[in-house]
Amino acid sequence: MIQAIIQRILLGILLIFGVIVLNFFLLQAAPGDVVDAMLAEAGGGDPELAARLRQSYGLDQPVYIQLIKYLGQVCIGDLGYSFYYEEPVAKLILSHLPTTLMLTLSALVLAVILGTLFGVYAAIKPKGFFSNFVTVFSLFGYATPVFWLGMIVLLVFALYLPWFPAFGIRSIPEPEDPLERILDIIHHLVLPTFTLAVLYLANYSRISRASMLDVMGADYIRTARTKGLSERKVIFKHALKNASLPVVTLAGLQLAQVFSGAVLVETVFSLPGVGPLLYESIMRRDFPVILGVLFGAATTTIVANIITDLIYKWMDPRIQSIT
Beta bridge partners of 88: 81
Provide Rg for the chain, Cα atoms: 24
Flag whether 145 is in a domain: yes
**Mean pLDDT, 10 residues at a time, the chain of 323 residues:** 74 85 84 74 71 78 84 85 85 87 85 81 76 76 78 84 80 77 85 84 78 75 74 71 71 68 80 84 85 84 74 59 45
pLDDT of residue 313: 66
Q: 126 near 213, Cβ under 8 Å?
A: yes
The model carries a pTM of: 0.73
Give the CATH number of the domain where residue 197 resides.
Answer: 1.10.3720.10
Residue 134: name the closest of 148, 117, 119 by CA: 119
Domain shared by 178 and 299, yes or no: yes
Domain shared by 180 and 36, yes or no: no
pLDDT of residue 321: 46
pLDDT of residue 98: 87
Flag whether 9 is in a domain: no
Cα separation, 230 vs 37, in Å, equals 67
Residue 164: name the closest of 140, 183, 137 by CA: 183
**Number of domains the chain contains:** 2
Cα separation, 264 vs 79, in Å, equals 24
Q: Which domain holds residue 306?
A: 95-315
Q: Give per-residue burial for 53-87: e unless 16+ CB within 10 Å, then b.
A: bbeebebeeeeeebbeebeeebeeeebbbbbbbee
Beta bridge partners of 81: 88
Domain shared by 52 and 152, yes or no: no
Cα separation, 151 vs 149, in Å, equals 5
Domain shared by 105 and 173, yes or no: yes
Domain shared by 118 and 187, yes or no: yes
Task: Please enumerate in sequence order all residues whose Cβ is within 8 A of that of 284, keeping only pairs 6 or more positions apart, or say none.
Answer: 34, 37, 38, 41, 83, 84
pLDDT of residue 311: 67
Domain shared by 222 and 169, yes or no: yes
Flag whether 321 is in a domain: no
Domain shared by 164 and 278, yes or no: yes
Flag whether 322 is in a domain: no
Q: 258 near 108, Cβ under 8 Å?
A: yes
Flag whether 2 is in a domain: no
Cα separation, 109 vs 201, in Å, equals 10
